């Protein structure tokens, strides 16, 4: 949790930590930014954190977002990025004016066991690949993987 606290302090963005309980996410920590309190805490499946675990093992159920189904066609580009690059980003796709970036932390077997997510207003939150925030989230997930699970998962330079 120290790495998560540090990410929140360094970025001053809302940060959450999610673990998986069966096929559902369980948010175990939620830290608001100092300037933007109470960003919406999305229900299961509505952010990048909601597709990290079960989706990588192939979707069994179509998730719902903002009251409308997400089709497999809409989800497919996100799945490809998750599988290829170990992150997922939504640029106001499903939460209006909110950008969301999630990266997993892995166990010693290379399985995803937790997902670290950063949220912020789109006009203030550059989460594009290579941006400062992207690198900070990546660094945090890498630290968690190393500190908690004892090794860094190989990404083959894809990030």
Give pLDDT tens digits for 40-72. 554 444 444 444 444 433 333 344 444 455 677
Q: Domain tally for the chain?
A: 1
User: Is 159 a domain residue?
Assistant: no
**155 falls within a domain:** no
Mean pLDDT of the 103-127 span: 87
State the sign of the Cα–Cα–Cα–Cα dihedral 100, 112, 134, 148: positive
Q: Is 86 contained in some domain?
A: yes
Residue 70 has what DSSP assignment? P
Range of the domain at 7: 2-149
11: Cβ contacts below 8 Å, ≥ 6 apart: 33, 118, 133, 136
Q: Are 133 and 125 in contact (CB under 8 A)?
A: yes
What span, in angstroms and rounded, lies between the C-alpha atoms of 134 and 128? 6
Judged by DSSP in three states, 105 sits in strand
CATH code for the domain in which residue 82 is found: 3.30.450.40
Length of the chain equals: 159
Question: pLDDT tens digit string along 81-106?
Answer: 877 888 888 887 667 788 889 998 88
Paired tokens of 139: 């660094």
DSSP β-bridge partners for residue 99: 91, 120
């Amino acid at each position: 949790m120290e790495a998560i606290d540090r990410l929140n302090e360094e970025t001053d963005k809302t940060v959450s930590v999610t673990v998986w309980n069966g096929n559902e996410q369980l948010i175990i920590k939620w830290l608001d930014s100092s300037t933007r309190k109470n960003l919406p805490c999305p229900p299961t499946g509505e952010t990048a954190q909601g597709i990290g675990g079960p989706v990588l093992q192939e979707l069994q159920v179509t998730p719902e977002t903002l009251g409308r189904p997400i089709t497999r066609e809409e989800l497919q580009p996100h799945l490809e990025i998750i599988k290829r690059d170990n992150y997922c980003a939504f640029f106001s796709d499903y939460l209006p004016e909110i950008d969301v970036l999630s990266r997993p932390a892995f166990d010693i077997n290379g399985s995803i066991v937790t997902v670290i997510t950063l949220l912020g207003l789109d006009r203030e939150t550059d989460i594009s690949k290579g941006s400062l925030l992207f690198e900070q989230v990546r660094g945090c997930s890498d630290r968690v993987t190393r500190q908690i699970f004892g090794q860094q998962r190989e990404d083959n330079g894809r990030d």
